A and B are shown apart, each in its own frame.
Chain A
Amino acid sequence: MVVTTRQSDSPFSSGRLLDEDKITKALNMASELGAEYAEIRLVSETTNTASLKDGKLERAIPGQEVGVTMRILADGAWGVHSTSDVSSIIGQVESTFRLAKAVAARRSPSQTVVGLAEVPIIQDEIHWKSNKDVRDTDLDQRIEMMLAIDNEAKDDERIVSTSTGWSDEHIHTELMTTEGMNRIWSFQRSLINGMVTARDGDDVVSYRMRHGGEGGLEVIESCDLGEMGRNAKISALRLLGAERAPSGRFPLVADRDLTGVYIHEALGHPCEADLVAAGDSCLEGRLGTTIGSEICTVVDDPTLRGGYGCYPIDDEGVDPRPKNLIVNGVLTEYLNHRETAHRYDLEPNGGARAQDGLHHPLVRMSNTIIQGGSHHDLDELIEDIEFGIYACGSRGGQVDTGRGSFQFAAQEAWIIENGSLSRPVKDVSVSGMTLQILKDVDGLTKDSHLAAPGFCGKGQTVPVGDGGPLMRIREALVG
């Protein structure tokens, strides 16, 4: 099936950067050499970053980067060439084809031959237009918004420094393949962040904040930046003098940020089918089985507009769709790109993402969110906890997908005693085993939505969103 839609007059389009005729000739050459498949993908990024230190402009960096990657599949193996010199890519067809053949020649008979699941062949342009095109934002506006955080974050003598940062990008991608795929898409992301450092004698702490999403200036304008700065200041001051968290196994309640990081690390990564195929996922062979509590339903949704991890088309030209990773505790779907979909005879679900034009696509998450449950609020979640931990704000996490073990760290936390929050503690980290802890989720509040944006590293770094409701885990390893 070939679908054609053209919107070349879209005001949001950057126009075509690849020379269509030359790329077609290069792709034809790959086919004539014997390639089963070839693609050329160009990404052009217009970026702006800026930062303030103690309210003064520290740096502002405009940038225009372009990269192009060619993948050639020959004899069931991949050869790849990436370059920032767009015009040179056409001259690399033959060497990249030979690279693929050389990899294929090393494959033993028992090893998997790479194939690609069929997908609709589409020729179109999709441009997600921001309400306020971030490229029209000037430096003064960026500074003003960062100052809105800074001004509220520092009015206490124990705050020794503040940092605020800004990042926006307009991403334009073109993809052409030997199958006839010819797609152009663009969208924008915007992000603002900050960090407050507080000191009292030898006790020094820091607290970070972040807001952002897919879209232009409207993303930042939707945030009460002053409140963000005030809250960061309050949190940093609260951490001063907070005692170290106890170590042991306790009931744990996580806020949205940590719920999101937890579900991203503990479940999302092991659901990535390239890791499953590599023999590096604890969820291999478990599709259709119960791996979590029946109150757990988790969706990875690249179409959730506004989420920091969303995209209009994946980096193999496939239309993305929401993936129900687990439904009522049952593992129902892996995240796939075309190669893993073919390997497992599954439907491609648009999970291929590359860091930029210089990297090839991997299976990645987008916006990963655990659906809401039946509890009304935090009070109801903690009312029957005798002693436990309420942990908030993410300092990041990590997972060993093969073993199924994970770790994430909180920015701040409270001791729960006799159904109430008692005193703040710091340095809370939580670890566990995916296949155990998902079963130990025994409470979720009703309201579920994305939390602060994040970045996910898997050899390549991509922006992601994650979140959910407040979540209670029966017992978790803390510290």
Chain B
Amino acid sequence: MIPDDAVERLLESALNIGAACDKENVQQWEVYATQGYGHSLEIEAGRISMASGGGDGGFGIRIVEDGRYGYAHLVDPSSASRAIQQALSIAKRSPSIEGFELPGNELASKVGGMKDKAILDMGPEDLLEQGDQVLTRVAELDSRAVAVGGGVGVGAGAGALVTSSGIENGGVHTSHGIGIHVSIDEDEHLTSSYEGESSRSILKDLTASVDKAVHWSQATREKIPGGATEDCPVLMTSGGFSPLFSVVVPTAIKGERLARGESFWSGKMNEMVIADHLTLVDDGLMEGGMSSGSRDDEGVPSRTQTLVDSGRLNGELWSTRDAAKLMAEGKVASAQSTGSASRGGHTSPPICGCSDLVLSSSNQTMSRDRLIEEMEDGYLVHSVMGAHTANPTSGDFSVTTSTILRVEGGQIIGSLSQAGLSGNMAKALAGRVVLGDSNIRKGSYSTGSMHVPDILLMDGLRINPA
């Protein structure tokens, strides 16, 4: 799938661009290069509708002159001179940040599990066979069920980072993912569920996502009338909670937002902010982590950092520039990179963000069945619509769910056709919370990878049945 010398080629091109920067007497420069390859297939209306392959990549050039930075990106390295001039021109117009320099070359730990040879060896035919397995499984589980959408894909990416300060880093990572949208449309009553999973190594059991999608399409068919609007306990599955969590929490723990008063946790450092048994760790060194690696996207060694320890806020995320900027502005007395720079690709300069974010509890965790019993009366919510409309500044959210089950006396009694779910993430996590017994990563989001289990939120949520 990927040429054996993909990293070497990228490093060579990046070094050539760096040499062009030196020729222009650029004080500090950084060249970030990526090249991705992959195969994928799309599923539609119970069949494989399309197979595709290809790759893309490019180069991002960041230059720093007297604390001023400029950036430009390009596809063809032969046009680097123009891009360097553009970046220099922008740097001249940018504010000078005292103390801002590109990171030096510090020793970084190796992180395993980033690459799986089995994925590299996969071809389009292998993927098509996996597509067949997925479709067969849907039909086996329920003859009424149809895979209306989704797909399977594998990818391999080569990356390189070269800087004037001596960082010369490169590597390959792989990914394997499935998304499956199943619906059951019978008696003019349609229920559906979307499930997805991705991994740096080959997914051992593709059908697990199919099983879940069919299960939730079946489990939500027995409708009961919606009751009155109520403030009540809500058990959110990992799949339902992760999207909301990913919009709100990673943003709230950025150092810049905390320092500027843009986070609901601003001014609360070393204070209790969530339940005292909950801990939040950003693990940039997670083996096989979708957002982990030995270095962050500007070359700073990654680390494992506890952000909230037993309910107490005691950490924050910084990139090199944000840390220097907020210190220069006097917003913080001291700050330094926490190895938390990430990029959307070669078109973006590094910005601050989390890597693999893990929510855990020191209390006894429970199976989903036990959580339902513990809740006694309330709702079980598996997916939400509109998670992206949550407000990361305030933590408020108001979303809609069509996979919601009513629980009474610790038993599921039926499904609502639709309901609103609203509340405030910070307040809900600060109330009575019980976590499920396994952390399930529900894929990557633009804000990093979330590792959150099922979660029973006893306080602060409102259900508004349709």
If A82-B56, A279-B46, A429-B389 are given as contacts, then 16 extra A-B residue pairs at C-beta distance below 8 Å, sorted by A number, are A60-B70, A61-B71, A81-B54, A99-B124, A103-B41, A160-B261, A197-B260, A205-B393, A206-B393, A280-B183, A358-B56, A407-B399, A408-B389, A431-B386, A477-B466, A479-B462
Q: Which residues of chain B have C-beta atoms less than 8 A from A426's C-beta?
A: 396
In the complex, chain A residues whose CB is within 8 Å of the CB of B398: 245, 409, 427-429, 479
A397 interface hit (Cβ, 8 Å):
yes
User: Which one of A34-42, A64-72, A172-180, A466-474 is at the interface?
Assistant: A64-72
CA–CA, A368 to B12, complex, Å? 48
C-alpha gap A409/B247 in the complex (Å): 15
Answer whether residue A22 sits at the interface, using C-beta atoms and an 8 A cutoff: no
How far is A385 from B370 in the complex, measured between Cα atoms in Å?
Answer: 47
> Shortest beta-carbon distance, B41 to chain A, in Å?
7
The answer on a CB contact under 8 Å between B56 and A84 is yes
Task: Please determine whether A405 and B262 come into contact, CB atoms closer than 8 angstroms.
Answer: no
* C-alpha spacing A222/B301, complex, angstroms: 47
A427 to B464 Cα, complex, angstroms: 14
Pick the interface stretch among B87-95, B108-116, B371-379, B406-414. B87-95
A residues near B391, Cβ cutoff 8 Å? 205-206, 395, 427
Q: If A83-B55, A160-B260, A161-B262 touch, does A59 touch B71 (CB 8 Å cutoff)?
A: yes
CB-based contact B394/A409 at 8 Å: no
Which residues from A are CB-within-8-Å of B422? Answer: 244, 247, 427, 429, 479
**A105-113, A376-384, A445-453: which lies at the interface:** A105-113
Contacts of B229 in A (CB 8 A): 247-248, 479
Question: With A103-B128, A398-B388 in contact, do A279 and B45 touch (Cβ < 8 Å)?
Answer: yes
B72 touches A63 (CB 8 A): yes
Q: A183 to B147, alpha carbons, bound, how many Å?
A: 36
Q: Are B44 and A277 in contact (CB under 8 A)?
A: yes
Provided the pairs A56-B95, A63-B72, A477-B420 are in contact, do residues A278 and B44 lie with their beta carbons within 8 angstroms?
yes
Any chain A CB within 8 A of the CB of B270? no
CB distance from A429 to the nearest CB of B (A): 4
Contact (Cβ within 8 A) A79 B51: yes
Q: Mark B437-466, 1 if CB is under 8 A from A, else 0.
A: 000000000000000000000000010101
Return chain B residues, CB-CB under 8 Å to A114. 49
In Å, the complex CA distance between A282 and B185 comes to 11
A144 → B minimal CB distance (Å):
12
Q: Is B148 an interface residue (CB 8 A)?
A: yes
Q: Which residues of A contact B81 (CB under 8 A)?
A: none
A interface size (C-beta, 8 A): 82
B93, B125, B149: the one contacting A140 at CB < 8 Å is: B93
* Top 7 closest pairs, chain A to chain B, by CB: A80-B52, A409-B389, A429-B398, A407-B400, A82-B54, A431-B400, A160-B261
Q: Please report the C-alpha to C-alpha distance between residue A406 and residue B386 in the assembled complex, in whole angstroms.
A: 9
B369 to chain A, nearest CB (A): 27
Q: Is the CB of A100 within 8 A of B73?
A: no
Contact B45 A112 (CB under 8 A): yes
A402 to chain B, nearest CB (A): 5
The answer to whether A248 and B464 have CB atoms under 8 Å apart is: yes
Contacting residues of chain B (264-291) with chain A, CB-CB under 8 angstroms: 264, 266
Which residues of A are found within 8 Å of B71, using beta-carbon distances? 59-61
Q: Does B57 contact A (CB under 8 A)?
A: yes
User: When A and B form their complex, what is the total count of cross-chain residue pairs whose Cβ atoms lie within 8 Å?
Assistant: 242
Q: In the assembly, what is the distance between CA of A113 and CA of B261, in Å?
A: 57
Q: Are B56 and A403 in contact (CB under 8 A)?
A: no
Known: A61-B73, A427-B422, A479-B229. A360 touches B261 (CB 8 A): no
* Chain A CB within 8 A of B48 CB: yes
A354 within 8 A of B: no
Contact across chains for B349 and A431 when beta carbons are under 8 A apart:
no
Cβ 8 A contact of B190, one of A358, A399, A403, A432? A403
Given the interface pairs A84-B55, A139-B89, the reply to whether A204 lies near B264 with Cβ below 8 Å is yes
User: CB-defined interface of A284-301 with B at 8 Å, one 1/0 digit per residue?
Assistant: 000000000000000000
A 239-264 binary contact with B (CB < 8 Å = 1; else 0) = 00000110110000000000000000
Q: How long is the Cα–Cα vector from A277 to B394 in the complex, in angstroms? A: 40
Q: In the complex, are the beta carbons of B52 and A360 less than 8 A apart?
A: yes
Contact residues in A for B264 (Cβ distance below 8 Å)? 202, 204
CA A79 to CA B52, docked complex, whole Å: 6
Report the Cα distance A128→B426, complex, angstroms: 49
- Known A-B contacts A139-B93, A398-B385; the reply to A477 vs B464 at CB < 8 A is yes
Is A143 a contact of B385 with CB atoms below 8 Å?
no
B358 interface residue (CB < 8 Å to A): no
Contact of A197 among B53, B349, B393 (CB under 8 A): B393
B212 within 8 A of A: no
A479 contacts B75, C-beta separation under 8 Å: no
Set of chain B residues within 8 Å of A322, measured between Cβ atoms: none
Question: Which A residues touch B394, using CB under 8 A?
Answer: 203-206
Find the B residue at minimum CB distance from A62: B86
B347 located at the interface, meaning its Cβ lies under 8 Å from any Cβ of chain A in the complex: yes
Residue interface mask B253-264, A partner, CB < 8 A = 1: 000000011111
Interface presence of A311 (CB below 8 A): no
Q: Does A85 contact B (CB under 8 A)?
A: yes
Q: Is B402 among interface residues, defined by CB-CB distance under 8 A?
A: yes
Flag if B260 contacts A161 (CB, 8 Å). yes
- If A57-B93, A64-B79, A402-B192 touch, whether A84 touches B57 (CB-CB below 8 Å) is yes
Q: Smallest distance from the beta carbon of A236 to chain B beta carbons, Å?
A: 10
Please determine whether A247 and B389 come into contact, CB atoms closer than 8 angstroms. Answer: no
Tell me if B50 and A360 are in contact (CB < 8 A): yes
Q: Which residues of A are found within 8 Å of B46, using beta-carbon distances?
A: 111, 279
Q: Is B222 an interface residue (CB 8 A)?
A: no
Which residues of chain A from 162 to 214 have any CB-CB distance to chain B below 8 Å in the complex?
197, 199, 202-206
Is residue A419 contacting chain B, with contact meaning CB distance below 8 A? no
11 A-B residue pairs with CB within 8 Å: A54-B260, A57-B94, A64-B79, A103-B48, A108-B47, A140-B93, A278-B148, A279-B148, A279-B185, A395-B391, A398-B389
